[in-house]
Chains A and B, each alone.
Chain A
Amino acid sequence: MKKVISIEIALVLLLAGIMFLLLSTKEPRMDVTVEEVQNTFSSIKGDIAIDYADALRIRSQLGINPAEHDMVVYYSSAVDAMYVYEFLLIRTDENSIDALQSTLEEHIATRLEAFRGYGESQTALLEKAIIKQYGNYICLIVADEPSTWLEAVKELLEV
């Protein structure tokens, strides 16, 4: 009797510990709106000349169909192909995250290939590009200081 109770208490305590551990890892907010992302980005982008992209530009520059995802916010240069600064935040379902990660990695690899050898500053920016996943969000940043932008994203997503 005593032994059974002791084992049961141990199991309950173990579960409590696991739950504490799980609940202390934060999940991103799922209700972030496009406007919130736009406001956050406006506050951090400084004088970088990139603007909010429409669905057509997202499709043509990234090969991603915004209609297939919950939320897509993308900033890039509409006119200058030499301008590699980019900011992208997508919220989607679990099943699409892996495919998106590959698409974005491929996107950066293609851009790097295009600039390697002659576009020194572009290559330097692309080499420190960040692709980061938080739950159902995936983020791409090409900037002078990508970690600063990433911090703003983390703050917005509350992770």
Chain B
Amino acid sequence: MIFSSLTFLLLFFPITLLLYFLVPNRAKNIVLLLFSLIFYSWGEPVYIILMLYSILLNYVCGLMMDKYSDMRKHILIFGVCINLFMLGFFKYAGFLTESLNSVLGTFGISIPQRDIALPIGISFYTFQALSYLIDLYREKFPVQKNIINFALYITMFPQLIAGPIVRYESIEKELKHRIISLEKVGYGSLIFIEGLAMKVLLANQIGLVADELRALAGSLSVTSAWLSALAYFFQIYFDFAGYSTMAIGLGHILGFTFCKNFDYPYLSTSVTEFWRRWHMSLGTWFREYVYIPLGGNRVSTIKHIRNILIVWMLTGLWHGAAWNFVLWGLYYGLLLLFEKFILSKINLPKPIGWLYTTILVLIGWVLFSSENLSQCMQILSAMFGIGNVLFDTTSLYYLMTGGFMLILCAICSTPLLKWLKEKLLHFALGKLFLGCLYVVILALCILFLVVQNYNPFLYFRF
């Protein structure tokens, strides 16, 4: 189930909320856990068993670390290895076998391979579980002895399948006691509607243009290729940021405060800044649990370069088990190295920095979204005019039909609307207008969901 579905909006969430608010405080976590399990099993009736195992494993490891203090390190290593094994097996076994087979095939050897479906959200909940074990080992908080609270941390439906990756220490207190007020419900609802609009009114609409143009990858003109890249550039942002915003809104409604995951990344004036603003919870996770333990930047230059490349290769792999994701990760690793060691010595004017970042991020998304390297090369060569015409009737058609959406997406990817909203909130009439506007936006989203079948969710596979 996804948030931007009628089943969630009109059935699951209203029932969850009703029960959640009706039961006494001590039963709220049980209700939330129960509904989180239903939410997950809606789409993954089989793989829920894996998630339940993950809960048991990490809960027991936590208790053992607390009880047997002389074996803390041993237990941590055991917990981390089992978590990584599960993630590795279900996410990467197919990719690894396929890659090995393509090499061994030349010697006539083939390893038997079977398709294993990726359990939804496994990358997210495994990273959350790992952060719990590692931070518990670092004694950042006491062990969670209540299995309901711990299970809720792993399974909580707002952030279960697409993040943000919530670290245990940030919601430890709220798992025990949280403030649930009408004000928070109202505020959370507004944030949720904003996220829903990003997903349904922007990502889904511009995604239609992106998909149609991508299907023509072999015959794109220069303009169409740039339009295709731009459409995907906005689709992935509004898709993922929309989902994160909905998760944060739902968190507020239920009394939790989740960390911000996006901060207008397309305004960045360097690639380094872009990654400080894009999927911030993932960046923080890799910094805390991989980059810093490897030595971060407090090591020799060679080791520093190694650390950056390792982190970015893993970031790429985290996004998907395919070579284009590894290349995409390394692409960013190399860009960050370039900025750290070369570009930092040059003071680029901000507009130039923005343009350079935007173009590099656009190219990055082409690499990211291509089904294979040949499709990626087709689009990139079309973008840079290698053997393609500059403009054709397809470009004209998509400029006419998708141009408005592109402009709207560009405006919505800046803080302009937030600024306007804050201005309006200063006036009583402005508040009334905003209230009505949010109701209209919600109605529009539901209308689009009713009449339009196209409702993909790009980050599902991660």
Contact = CB atoms under 8 A, between A and B. Distances in A.
Contacts of B454: 68
A93 interface: yes
Contacts of B82: 11-12, 15
Contacts of B455: 95-96, 99
Given A4-B71, A14-B53, A15-B53, A68 B453 contact: yes
A18 interface: yes
Interface stretch (B41-49, B216-224, B309-317): B41-49
A25 B53 contact: no
A94 B2 CA distance: 10
Contacts of A3: 68
A29 B120 CA distance: 19
A27 B116 contact: yes
Nearest to A14: B53
Contacts of B68: 1, 3-4
A135 B64 contact: no
B391 interface: no
A25 B89 contact: no
B49 A18 contact: yes
How many chain B residues sit at the interface, stated as a range, is: 20 to 34
A94 B47 contact: no
A8 B78 contact: yes
A62 B11 CA distance: 25
Contacts of A22: 46-47, 49-50
Contacts of B89: 19
B456 A23 contact: no
B448 to A, nearest CB: 13
A98 B10 CA distance: 14
B117 A7 contact: no
Contacts of B453: 64-65, 68, 96, 99
A14 B89 CA distance: 16
B460 interface: yes
B115 A27 contact: yes
B334 interface: no
B93 to A, nearest CB: 10
A7 B49 contact: no
A156 interface: no
B75 interface: yes
Contacts of A135: 117
B457 A95 contact: yes
A15 B7 CA distance: 33
Interface in B68-114: 68, 71, 74-75, 78, 82, 85-86, 89, 114
Nearest to A136: B117
Contacts of A79: none
Contacts of B71: 1, 4
Given A4-B64, A15-B82, A98 B7 contact: yes
Contacts of B337: none
A56 interface: no
Contacts of B53: 14-15, 18
A11 B46 contact: no
Nearest to A29: B115
Contacts of A65: 453
A21 interface: yes
Interface in B28-52: 43, 46-47, 49-50
B457 A11 contact: no
Contacts of A98: 1, 5, 7
Contacts of A30: 115
B113 to A, nearest CB: 12
A121 to B, nearest CB: 32
A19 to B, nearest CB: 7
Contact of B49 (A12, A21, A94, A99): A21
26 contacts: A3-B68, A4-B64, A7-B60, A7-B64, A8-B75, A14-B53, A15-B82, A15-B85, A15-B86, A18-B50, A19-B89, A22-B46, A22-B47, A22-B50, A27-B117, A29-B115, A30-B115, A64-B453, A65-B453, A94-B43, A94-B460, A95-B2, A95-B456, A95-B457, A96-B455, A96-B456
Shortest Cβ-Cβ A-B pairs, 10 listed: A27-B117, A68-B453, A8-B78, A27-B115, A18-B53, A4-B71, A4-B68, A95-B457, A68-B454, A11-B57
Given A22-B47, A98-B5, 7 more contacts: A3-B68, A4-B71, A8-B75, A15-B82, A22-B46, A22-B50, A23-B114
